């Protein structure tokens, strides 16, 4: 079973004032925290989708050597999802991991992967106390649908329109919900 990870990090961070991949948790950048969690969960095929403006910084600071430059990040996160999926069209699944969720544990990622291995034709989503979060795993059966979807703005809309079922994985990990949009969110 081939699962790769795509770190979605092409946002400009307008609300927080800095691209989120450059934010720090402790002494490390968010992008490196995410890479470390993925590797701890035994995912080593990792690619980060970034903005062209962040390329120099990324090469100097990121612990991930694979990247894709999103030349139209203003088109929203779905443009980065499409680029990541296009890179991994031959994989069984792709774990999509927004860089602004650095508090997800490696155990949660392992649990998602374990469930995907049993259900590799379904979308795998984590839930904490009834709320869905990130990261999630999408199956290869959905890749062409994502790549060819032009008028749909979000991944949730694409999944819904595809008719593909989702599996809800309840986890004891509040980190799946901790989307960092303000500096205060890092320490709460």
Residue ranges covered by each domain of the chain: 3-186
Please state, in angstroms and rounded to a whole number, the distance separating the CA atoms of residues 114 and 15.
35
Residues 76-89: what's their mean pLDDT?
94
pLDDT score recorded for residue 142: 95
pLDDT score recorded for residue 103: 93
pLDDT score recorded for residue 188: 57
Q: Which of 88, 95, 52, 45 is nearest to 70 (CA)?
A: 52
**pTM of the entire structure?**
0.94
pLDDT score recorded for residue 34: 96
Place of tokens 């990090």: 9
- pLDDT (tens digit per residue) in 19-51: 999 989 889 999 999 999 999 999 999 999 999
Residues 55-63: what's their mean pLDDT?
94
SS3 content of the chain, % helix, strand, coil (to 5): 40, 25, 35
For domain 3-186, give the CATH number: 3.90.550.10
pLDDT-based confidence at residue 16 (cuts at 50, 70, 90): confident
Burial of residue 37 (number of CB atoms within 10 Å: 0-12, 13-18, 19+): buried
- pLDDT (tens digit per residue) in 161-186: 889 999 999 999 999 998 877 676 77
């Amino acid at each position: 079973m081939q699962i790769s990870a795509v770190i979605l990090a092409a946002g400009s961070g307008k609300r927080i004032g800095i691209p989120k991949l450059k934010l720090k948790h402790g002494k490390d950048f968010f992008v490196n925290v995410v890479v470390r969690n993925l590797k701890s969960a035994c995912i080593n095929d990792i690619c980060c989708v970034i903005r062209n403006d962040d390329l120099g910084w990324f090469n100097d600071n990121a612990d991930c050597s694979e990247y894709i430059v999103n030349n139209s990040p203003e088109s929203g996160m779905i443009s980065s999802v499409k680029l990541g999926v296009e890179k991994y069209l031959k994989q069984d699944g792709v774990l999509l991991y927004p860089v602004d969720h650095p508090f997800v544990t490696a155990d949660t990622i392992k649990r998602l992967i374990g469930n995907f291995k049993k259900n590799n034709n379904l979308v795998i989503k984590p839930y904490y106390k009834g709320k869905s979060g990130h990261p999630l795993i999408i199956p290869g059966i959905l890749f062409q649908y994502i790549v060819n979807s032009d008028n749909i703005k979000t991944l949730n809309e694409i999944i819904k329109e595809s008719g593909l079922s989702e599996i809800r994985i309840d986890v004891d990990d509040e980190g799946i919900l901790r989307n960092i949009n303000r500096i205060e969110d890092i320490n709460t």
